[in-house]
Amino acid sequence: MFHVLIISLPYLLKGAVVTVWLSLATISLGTLLGFALGTAGAVGPRPLRAAVTAYVFVLRGVPILVVMFLGYYVFPALGYRVDAYVAVGAAMVVYVGAFVSEIVRGAILAVPSGQIAAARSLGMRRGPMLREIVFPQAFRMAIPPLLNTALTTIKQTSYVSVVGAWELSYAAREVVERTLAAFEIFLGVMVLYFIICYPLSVAARHLERRYAFAS
């Protein structure tokens, strides 16, 4: 019954490899951007904090698919010819950055004020206090929600196929167009995504529980 799926599996696996690379690239770059923005949004100067708030507000209110389309059409309009992957990848990084920044900002602000008061009373300056007291505690708290964001991002890489970048979902549609075996192919592709995502979601839940006990 599943022979079309078995024959197409090598092609789909190629797509899965692209999906994994795209996920790794957008998650790592988006997380870097989010850490920078989130830190600025929590402890930066006031205008910077306001800018980060506005950035997060706008991006969180708009679907990622719309941001991808914007990325796809905005580069040519500005006179740049870029690869479809670069355009949608940039859109994803910008989007992921907003969500990560909100997590990081929240985590920094959630460090108990007693910790800051204690550091001050020991005579620590602001820089070392942030580096040695606030950030380590904040980043520890941020890990489980960051893993959840990474999970969401992996699933969202499938949307780049709608804009026109080739990866697992695009490959799946190609195979279905050729073979018409919609049910088994999409079911098989769901299994592939599940295999990619499940370890991460187990890790996220495990850490959530561990840190819940710790605090």
Partner 1 sequence: MDLAPQLVNFVARYVPYLAQGFALTLALAAASVPLSLAWSLAILLPRLSKRHWLAAVAAAYIEVMRNTPLLIQMYLIYFGLPLFNIFLSGFACGVLAITLQHGAFLAEVLRGGVESVSARQWEAARAIGMRNRQAFRLVVLPQAVVKVVPPICNQLIVLVKDTSLVSAIGVMEVTLSAKVIIERTGASYEVFVAVALFYLVMTTALGAGLRVAERRLALRFG
CB of 91 to partner 1, least distance (A): 11
**How many residues does the structure list for the chain?**
215
Question: What string marks each residue from 71 to 90 as x (binds partner 1 by CB under 8 A) or -?
Answer: --xx--x-------------
Q: Does 182 bind partner 1 (CB under 8 A)?
A: yes
Burial pattern 61-100, b for ≥16 Cβ within 10 A else e, equals eeebbebbbbbbeebeeeeeeeebbebbbbbbbbbbbbbb
Report the distance separating Cα 119 and Cα 31, nearest Å.
Answer: 28
Q: Does 1 bind partner 1 (CB under 8 A)?
A: no
Q: Does 21 bind partner 1 (CB under 8 A)?
A: no
Coil, helix or strand for 215?
Answer: coil
Report the distance separating Cα 95 and Cα 65, nearest Å.
Answer: 10
- Helix or strand holding residue 61 (H, E): none
Q: Which is nearer to partner 1, 155 or 210 (CB)?
A: 155
Q: Which one of residues 69, 93, 133, 149 is an interface residue with partner 1 (CB under 8 A)?
A: 69
Q: Does 190 bind partner 1 (CB under 8 A)?
A: yes
Q: Which is nearer to partner 1, 60 or 120 (CB)?
A: 60
Q: Which one of residues 33, 144, 169, 171 is an interface residue with partner 1 (CB under 8 A)?
A: 169
Q: Which one of residues 7, 187, 206, 209 is an interface residue with partner 1 (CB under 8 A)?
A: 187
Q: Does 66 bind partner 1 (CB under 8 A)?
A: yes
Interface segment toward partner 1; rule CB under 8 A; list 6-14, 68-76, 103-111, 129-137: 68-76
Distance spanning both ends of the chain, measured CA to CA: 51
Residue 127, amino acid = G
Q: How many chain residues touch partner 1 (CB under 8 A)?
A: 36
Contacts of 62 (CB under 8 A, 6+ apart): none
Coil, helix or strand for 63?
Answer: coil
Q: Which is nearer to partner 1, 134 or 160 (CB)?
A: 160
Q: Closest Cα partner for 43 from 155, 171, 134?
A: 134
Q: What is the contact surface with partner 1 in residues (CB under 8 A)?
A: 58, 60-67, 69-70, 73-74, 77, 151, 155-156, 158-159, 161-162, 169, 172-173, 176, 182-183, 186-187, 189-190, 193-194, 197-198, 201
